[in-house]
Amino acid sequence: MNQIKGRILTDIQTYYRGVLLAAAYLGVMSLLGIPICPLVLFTGLPCPGCGMTRAALLFLKGHWLQAFEMHPFFYVFLALAISVFISRYILDRAIPKMRWIVSIALALSILFYVYRMIRYFPDRQPVVYFPHNIAAALRTIVAHSAWI
């Protein structure tokens, strides 16, 4: 048990700056009511991960089917996270070919994103258009400045 705690503490010491930065970003964006996803913020278009956080929250509330409907790849990445946790902290070994596994999961999630965009965009959650984005604001500014 002490070895597990030691590995966890080592990783916390190594990665705490990134975790704190991510938490600060998420907190500030949430408090300001600004979309967390940079792609949505800049273009108004959903990203391949759109719905993943909502799926996680639904999962934690016990709404497993709704979580799957929100983003089925949440379960893929949950399984990967559990595998990494067990391998890293309990078994103290690397997962063979983890980069390939993650690459395949990401590629499949992008294919699923394309499918969702073709089938459901722009009016079905979570693949909706966010009209209040930076690109739209810049287009408005440029359009109005052309008349000056």
Question: Which pLDDT does position 122 carry in this prediction?
Answer: 86
Buried b / exposed e over 17-36, threshold 16 CB at 10 Å, is: eeeeeeeeeeeeeeeeeebe
**Enclosing H/E stretch for 29:** helix 2-32
Collect all residues with Cβ–Cβ distance below 8 Å to 88 and sequence separation of at least 6: 7, 11, 94
CA–CA separation, 75 and 70 (whole Å): 11
Q: What is the pLDDT along the chain (148 residues), one digit of tens a residue?
A: 888 888 888 888 999 999 999 999 989 988 988 888 889 999 999 999 989 989 999 999 999 999 999 999 999 999 999 998 898 888 888 878 888 988 999 999 999 999 999 998 888 888 899 898 999 999 998 888 766 5
Query: pTM for this one?
Result: 0.76
